[in-house]
Structure 1
């Protein structure tokens, strides 16, 4: 539309009725949502932008597709955008992304979010895990000061799988034997006193010292004081890694000894377990994504859709 037609349209806007103005605003919502998404993407794109095919930095503009600038690489001739090579590439309905991310911040289920946004439930499921694929890498690099570590156990689930390697359980069911067995996923949570939290899946059954070396050691500051329960794996790990270690004997009824306690990480366990219950079971293969989702929501660390999208895209570009 040229400038004269646009000015004429603005003069006529004042003549619209209330119903017509409401219809006009609703018709502009998708375009405004697309503009906001593209603004966030352009704000976090790396400089210089590299070709995902040959990593070349020499390119020129090659049109705009769905509101996003595309480029053509001078070296290999491939076209790409700021989302090429990321989990968000080829996702459609970008104008609805921010509305969907708002539902994720409200912890809505897949079907509830699909109904509210107006997309298919399979699209809702795909969006959820594409956004969380990058967010799960958004964890603190180091835990310093006093860091508490403890594990929680969640019954292994093959929810959504077409082929089970075990007999199906009715409505989630229970483990075949009592106690912690290989039917439980071990979720290790490490949290320092400033609130920085790292979480991971170490495997099945009880945690071992070897798993702690693999998952916990890279995120601990050398001068950290590690506080745990009396599990022998933590004592073996701390001795082998040369890390200061203190523990409370929970079996003997000891809950606190001065600053030595695991109440912060246990409170996080309680919030995590209560939050997971609303989803009526989480498949083990997607559990790392839900751990990242809970960390994003904890204490309103991320409380705006734009911030969540910006964080995810920034992480994607770091990994490329």
Structure 2
């Protein structure tokens, strides 16, 4: 009998040493994520009334048949029951904490929603909900970041994207969508009408990308970077005004810092009011007096690569989430393992700020639009077109139902 057959552990060691180096490193990372169990959270106060007078009250078992249990507590002050994750995005989850840790590992590695769902054993809808719950919470962490030293600032622009908004064009009261009986009744005229409608819809989608340069069809993202830290937030559409710049950078740059920007007047005014030394790079030049915007240009390139290539353009209403996501991952002061631990501890101790049912109700733009009447007018036109399309869809489906009834009766 072979020596390795008697000892499964020795067999595993032998096969491990036969692997290439990159597969060894991948296996070690997987083992660390899979086998390491997060330490229990220390509960000090009741999340409902902030009282420190509570007692243990049995256990709460996870619903995924893993046998994982969480200590339940009973507050003597308000009489309410709670667990260590009450009030956070982890509360009510049917997955244990190790699955969330594995998902955060996928998030740091910039895995797609489908890949993360397959790795963690969850559905695509759950993967989407988890990502945006985490990113909504992450924005609170990014709000505490301040920049100092030499700070480079400028705007970058993204196309307006309404991904996920197409459901508003369809009626909610029609439950017979996708009835297979309609297939047998479709004629060449119906198919031609559908192709024409698709062509009109495609032309409407491309209409937002026709204007070249800076226009109200672009979302302006104000960015500022210093050593290992960065700030980015969607401010407006079109050119950025001083008030819009101030809403993003006010209080984010420490006094007596050095602000490097282009020759736009809004940066000169911002530097003067915030006691900053300002160096403007003239148009057509790359540097001035030893200062440049090379680091900011590299930051813009990485940001656009993640938004437009890695994630195939994100919806404008979720743009701030992905900006906070990029800033957290791009911070070079910590390793990926430290970032995973930091993010897991943060979401375990931060109140939940969003619910799944509220995702679809988010406004199309993550910034106030009251000061831009042109955008409001366009939004009203889009809503009117959606209402007309909805009426047309209802009429067409009623016609399909009548034809289906005639087909079944004959």
Q: What is the TM-score when the length of structure 1 is the normalising length?
A: 0.78
Q: Deviations over 1:167-205 (max 9, x none)?
A: 95579745242222222221111111x221112121222
Sort the Cα spacing of 1:209 and 1:55 in 2 relative to 1 into closer, same or farther, 3 A: same
Sort the Cα spacing of 1:205 and 1:278 in 2 relative to 1 into closer, same or farther, 3 A: same
Paired position in structure 2 for 1:128: 131
Paired position in structure 1 for 2:223: 189
Give the paired residue count: 286
Q: Pairwise mapping of residues 290-309 of structure 1 onto structure 2 (< 5 A)?
A: 290-298=322-330, 301=333, 303-304=335-336, 307-309=339-341
For residues 247 and 296 of structure 2, what CA distance do their matches in structure 1 show?
Answer: 20
TM-aligned CA deviation for residue 314 of structure 1 = 2.5
Sort the Cα spacing of 1:67 and 1:273 in 2 relative to 1 into closer, same or farther, 3 A: same
Paired position in structure 2 for 1:207: 240
Q: Which moved more, 1:48-57 or 1:205-214?
A: 48-57
Q: Deviations over 1:21-47 (max 9, x none)?
A: 9xxxxxxx9xx959713x1x52xx5xx
Query: Residue 216 of structure 1 is aligned with which of 249, 254, 273?
Result: 249
For residues 137 and 291 of structure 2, what CA distance do their matches in structure 1 show?
Answer: 34
Q: Deviations over 1:104-139 (max 9, x none)?
A: 122111112212322110011111112222222323
Query: Residue 110 of structure 2 is aligned with which of 97, 107, 111?
Result: 107
TM-aligned CA deviation for residue 89 of structure 1 = 2.0
Query: Residue 143 of structure 1 is aligned with which of 143, 147, 159?
Result: 147
Runs in 1 of length 4+ with deviation above 6 angstroms?
14-18
Sort the Cα spacing of 1:182 and 1:68 in 2 relative to 1 into closer, same or farther, 3 A: farther
Sort the Cα spacing of 1:36 and 1:77 in 2 relative to 1 into closer, same or farther, 3 A: same
For residues 297 and 168 of structure 1, what CA distance do their matches in structure 2 show?
Answer: 36
Q: What is the TM-score when the length of structure 2 is the normalising length?
A: 0.62
Q: Pairwise mapping of residues 27-176 of structure 1 onto structure 2 (< 5 A)?
A: 36-37=37-38, 39=39, 42=41, 45=42, 49-65=44-60, 66-94=68-96, 95-139=98-142, 141-161=145-165, 162-163=167-168, 173=206, 174-176=208-210
Q: Which moved more, 1:58-67 or 1:214-223?
A: 58-67
CA contact (8 A) 2:263 2:281 kept: yes
Paired position in structure 2 for 1:243: 276
For residues 321 and 245 of structure 2, what CA distance do their matches in structure 1 show?
Answer: 20
For residues 172 and 267 of structure 1, what CA distance do their matches in structure 2 show?
Answer: 30
TM-aligned CA deviation for residue 75 of structure 1 = 1.2
For residues 100 and 106 of structure 2, what CA distance do their matches in structure 1 show?
Answer: 10
